[in-house]
A and B are shown apart, each in its own frame.
Chain A
Amino acid sequence: MSRAGAVLRWAALVVAAALFLLPFYLLIRNGLATREEITSPQWTFLPAELHWENVSALFAGTEVPFARSLLNSAVVAVLQTAGELLLCSAAGYGLARIPYRHSGKALGVVVATLLVPTSVTFVPSFVLVSSLGWLSDLRGLVVPGLFSALNTVLFRQFFLDFPGELEDAGRIDGLGRWGVFRRIVLPNSTGFLAAIAAITFIGSWNSFLWPLVIAQDSSSWTVQVALSGLLTAQNPQLNLLFAAAAISILPIVLLFVGLQRYLVRGVTETGVNG
């Protein structure tokens, strides 16, 4: 590769990176500006001073239960991630390791659901959840999303490659199947667990269609539904809207920075198989 080509490529990457960071810049600039500064026809690169009171106004505001929606999102994402990891890892292990006559059929039942993405069937799922009486309820937000066929299939793949000697050692020590799984298999799979957890948490925190359908009452709104409500309202208060959006992506950006290694692994594991 010639030197000129390398320089050119580097320059192109710098331009692309700047464009990619632009939306984040807008988010922060508008979130810390006044309404007048945002709507001024004269473009300013940064507000004259940083208006942190936008943030406090959000938490004091009574129109949209913003603090409550953040809490709801956190509870839903944590419960969904923990529940999904437990259910799907156990099922994946069972499908990979337990010699049972109907194991193949059970795997078929799981894989068949991969054909139809859950978002396409939100209408019947809404019908089911509303007849369970779970509308505007944490259960309706968390439970239907716990049973991930994709994660189960990925865990099964992963456990098929798990070294059997470790499990044999556990059995010699007198552990039962559940004991082997909990004390030997899971502690030796932390990297993979973290990868699936990171992807699941982000997916749950950022999901919108399902919470929009289920959380009809503002006390059960997740942060995405609250933001959407602010955005599609008449004449939104732009500075507060942007402050809210910036706060909403903060936990995920922190998670992103802290767990990027696992996240990248999660993407490559789930993406190529997805």
Chain B
Amino acid sequence: MSTRPRRDARDFWLFVGPLLLGLIVFSYVPIGWSLYLSFFDARNTVTPEVFVGVGNYTAMLTNEAFLSSLVTFSAFAVAIVPLTYVAALALALAVDRVKFAKAFFRSVFFLPFACSYVVAALIWKTSLFSGVNYGLVNSVLGAFGIDPVAWTGTADPPLYWIVLITARLWLQLGFYMLLFIAALQRIPDRLYEAAWLDGAKPGWQVFRYITLPQLRGTSVAVLLLLLINAFQAFDEFYNILGDARGYPPYGRPPLVYLYYTALGSGGQDLGRGSAGAVILSVLIAVVTLVQGKVLGFGKGRDR
């Protein structure tokens, strides 16, 4: 009998050990190293010698470009999160109810999930919202006698947001629509029957008092996912706004700013880059934990 716990321990490490080791090396070590580097002057070196205390942190938190990247993220989140939420839910309700060609609609709306953010950036930047007269949107406007609009190059009014937001909306809408469709299908029919017996009007009343409350878990999960994904925005910003001349002074989300700070051509400031990474990590962990407190971890399921 005494060999059993020992065999269990051996088996446990055989099954779980490799993954734990990898997580420690590739998640915990970088974060620890990052903390270490963030207290040093680490320009173009990973073995720094000059200790600067919280200097990198105060530099980052008083750095206008870093702070403006957080403002950029906030503006982006304020637009993309509610827009995607409402559109995904509306699409899910419509596709879930449609009788004819249901599978076709579901596939079409989900298809952009197969497309990379880089490819979408390319289509949006050089064809759909291209600033020259042969871009699709400008061609349509031209048919009405309107001059070509420089979509990505206009910061005042911030027309570039239209390009960035429509691109991400197209890319991620289908994914969230699927989450809502799955959740809608889990709502028991008897609830709708009960509502009907109670004389609730089909349409708005049923949606307001049955459907929406039943979707609460999925809604919270979707909102959190949307927020975290918006926070990590990089691919489409880098490819739509950046070019051979570099990156414009506007529309810089946190990761784009970090990329240019830590790995840009102007020299690698790994100390400040690390401090920035730590600040962002703390911010995102706080958001996740707050959500966890409100809802419990990984319990985004509707029960």
A residues adjacent to B (C-beta < 8 A): 1, 6, 9-10, 12-13, 16-17, 20-24, 26-27, 30, 38-41, 43, 87-88, 90-91, 93-95, 98-103, 106, 109-111, 113-128, 130-131, 143-144, 146-147, 149, 152-153, 157, 177-178, 181, 202, 205-206, 208-209, 212-213, 224, 227-228, 231-234, 236, 238, 241-242, 245, 248-249, 252-253, 255-256, 260, 263-264, 267-268, 271-274
B273 within 8 A of A: yes
* B118 interface neighbour in A228, A271, A272, Cβ under 8 Å: A228
Interface of B is mostly: helix
> When chains A and B are docked, how far (Å) is the Cα of A10 from the Cα of B94?
8
Check if B270 sits within 8 Å of A90, measured CB to CB.
Answer: no
Binds A, one of B18-26, B49-57, B78-86, B157-165: B18-26
Are A205 and B26 CB-contacts (below 8 A) given A13-B94, A115-B285, A264-B178? no
- Contact between A87 and B46 (Cβ–Cβ < 8 Å)? no
Across-interface contacts of B221 in A (CB, < 8 A): 271-272, 274
Contact B15 A93 (CB under 8 A): yes
Tell whether, in the assembled complex, residue A123 and residue B276 are in contact, meaning their CB atoms are under 8 Å apart.
yes
Bound CA span A248–B120, Å: 12
Docked Cα-Cα span, A22 to B30, in Å, equals 42
B229: min CB distance to chain A, Å: 9
State the Cβ distance, A190 to closest chain B Cβ, in Å: 20
- Say which residue of A88, A128, A234, A245 sits within 8 Å of B123 (CB atoms): A245
- Chain A: minimal CB distance from B172 (Å): 11
Does B178 lie within 8 Å of A120, measured CB to CB? no
Contact of A231 among B29, B125, B285, B297 (CB under 8 A): B125
Residue in A closest to B301 when the chains form the complex, CB atoms: A272
**Which of A1, A27, A117: most chain B Cβ within 10 A?**
A117
Known A20-B112, A117-B284; judge A130-B46 contact (CB<8 A).
yes
A residues in contact with B29, CB < 8 Å: 128
Interface check B243, CB cutoff 8 A: yes
B126 lies within 8 A of A117 (CB): no
- Contact pattern, B 283-303, Cβ under 8 Å of A = 1, otherwise 0: 011001100000001101100
Pick the 7 closest A-B CB pairs, nearest first.
A94-B15, A124-B34, A147-B22, A124-B30, A206-B116, A91-B19, A94-B16
**CB contact between B11 and one of A87, A94, A228, A271 (< 8 Å): that residue:** A94
Known contacts A23-B120, A233-B244; A109/B20 CB under 8 A: yes
Q: Are A236 and B126 in contact (CB-based, < 8 A)?
A: yes
B8–A110 CB distance below 8 A? no
In Å, the complex CA distance between A250 and B26 comes to 32
CB closest chain-B residue, reference A153 = B298
Are B22 and A127 touching (Cβ within 8 A)? no
0/1 interface trace, chain B 177-201, chain A, CB 8 Å (1 if under): 0110011000000000000000000
CA distance A120 to B233 in the complex (A): 10
- Complex CA distance for A228 and B121, rounded to whole angstroms: 9
A149-B123 in contact given A9-B94, A10-B100, A264-B178 (Cβ < 8 Å): no
